Amino acid sequence: MLKVLIIGYVWPEPNSSAAGVRMMELIRLFLEQNWSITYASPAATGEHMEDLNALGVTERSIAVNESNFDAFVSELKPDIVLFDRFMMEEQFGWRVERACPFALRIIESIDLHLLRDARHRLVKKSHQVVKDLGRHDLYSEMAKREIASIYRSDLTLLISAYEMKLLMEQFSLPGDLLHLTPFMLDESHITASSPCFDERHHFITIGNFRHAPNWDSVRWLSETIWPMIRKQLPDIELHIYGAYPPKKAAALHRPESGFHIAGWAVNALDVVRQARVSLAPLRLGAGIKGKLADAMLAGTPSVTTSVGAESMCDGLEWSGIVADDPQKIATAAVNLYRDRDAWQRAQKNGYAIIRTLFNRAENGASLIRRIRNCRENIETDRLNNFTGAMLRHHHHRSTEFMSRWIEAKNREKP
**Domains in the chain and their CATH numbers?**
3-184+360-409 (3.40.50.2000), 188-357 (3.40.50.2000)
Query: What pLDDT was estimated at residue 410?
Result: 74
Give 128's DSSP letter.
Answer: S
Sign of the CA dihedral 340, 343, 347, 348?
positive
CA distances from 284 to 14, 137, 275 (A): 22, 14, 24
In 3-state terms, what secondary structure has residue 103? coil
Question: Half-sphere exposure of residue 196, counting CA atoms within 13 Å on the CB side?
Answer: 3
Dihedral pair phi/psi, residue 159, rounded to 5° = -95, -15
pLDDT at 400 over 70: no
Q: Point out the least confidently predicted range of 105-119, 123-137, 162-176, 373-387.
A: 123-137
Do 262 and 250 contact (CB within 8 A), yes or no?
Answer: no
Segment 134-191, tens digit of pLDDT:
889 999 999 999 999 999 999 999 999 999 999 999 999 999 999 999 999 988 878 7
d(CA 361, CA 365): 6
| pLDDT, average across residues 115-136 | 89
State pLDDT tens for residues 297-336.
999 999 999 999 999 999 999 999 999 999 999 999 999 9
Closest among 252, 281, 375, 347 to 2, alpha carbons compared: 375
* E-only strand ranges, 170-316: 178-180, 203-206, 238-241, 259-263, 277-280, 302-304
Percentage of the chain modeled with pLDDT above 70: 96
Long-range contacts of 44-50 (CB under 8 A, 24+ apart): 45/11, 46/10, 46/11, 46/13, 46/16, 48/13, 48/15, 48/16, 48/243, 48/264, 49/11, 49/12, 49/13, 50/11, 50/12, 50/13, 50/14, 50/20, 50/24
Rounded Cα gap, residues 41 and 284, in angstroms: 28
Asked whether the whole model's pTM tops 0.85, one would answer yes
Alpha helices in 127-160 (DSSP H): 135-138, 141-152
Whether residue 211 contacts residue 187, with contact meaning beta carbons closer than 8 Å, is answered with no
Average per-residue pLDDT in the chain? 93
Task: Specify the DSSP element, H or E, that contains 7.
Answer: strand 3-7
Q: Judging by beta carbons within 10 Å of its beta carbon (0-12, 13-18, 19+), is residue 121 exposed, middle or buried?
A: middle
Which of 12-16, 240-244, 276-280 is predicted most confidently?
276-280
What strands lie across the sheet with 320-322, from one edge to the other?
259-263, 238-241, 203-206, 277-280, 302-304, 320-322
Whole-angstrom Cα distance, residue 109 to residue 142?
13
The neighbouring-strand residues paired with 60 are 40
Residue-wise burial string across 200-218, b where 16 or more C-beta atoms lie within 10 A, e elsewhere: bebbbbbbbbebebbbbbb
Angle, helix 18-32 to helix 360-376, in steps of 10 degrees: 70
| Maximum C-alpha span of the chain | 80
Neighbours of 235 (CB within 10 A): 8
